[in-house]
Amino acid sequence: AESFNAKIKAFRAQFRGVKNVEFFLFRLTTIFA
């Protein structure tokens, strides 16, 4: 889980200010729901 969180942090840092943040969160919830 630790490395996974690191990946998400890096991914979010990569797409900082992206317009489809809602879509990104939606994808996260669909992946883990």
pLDDT per residue over 2-32, tens digit each? Answer: 888 888 888 777 766 566 677 777 888 888 7
Give me the pLDDT at residue 33, please.
65
Give me the pLDDT at residue 10, please.
80
**Alpha-carbon gap, residue 17 to 27, rounded angstroms:** 17
Tokens of 15: 């797409």
Q: Residue 25: which domain range?
A: 1-32
Higher pLDDT, 33 or 4: 4
Q: In total, how many domains does the chain have?
A: 1
Higher pLDDT, 7 or 33: 7
Tokens of 5: 């969180």
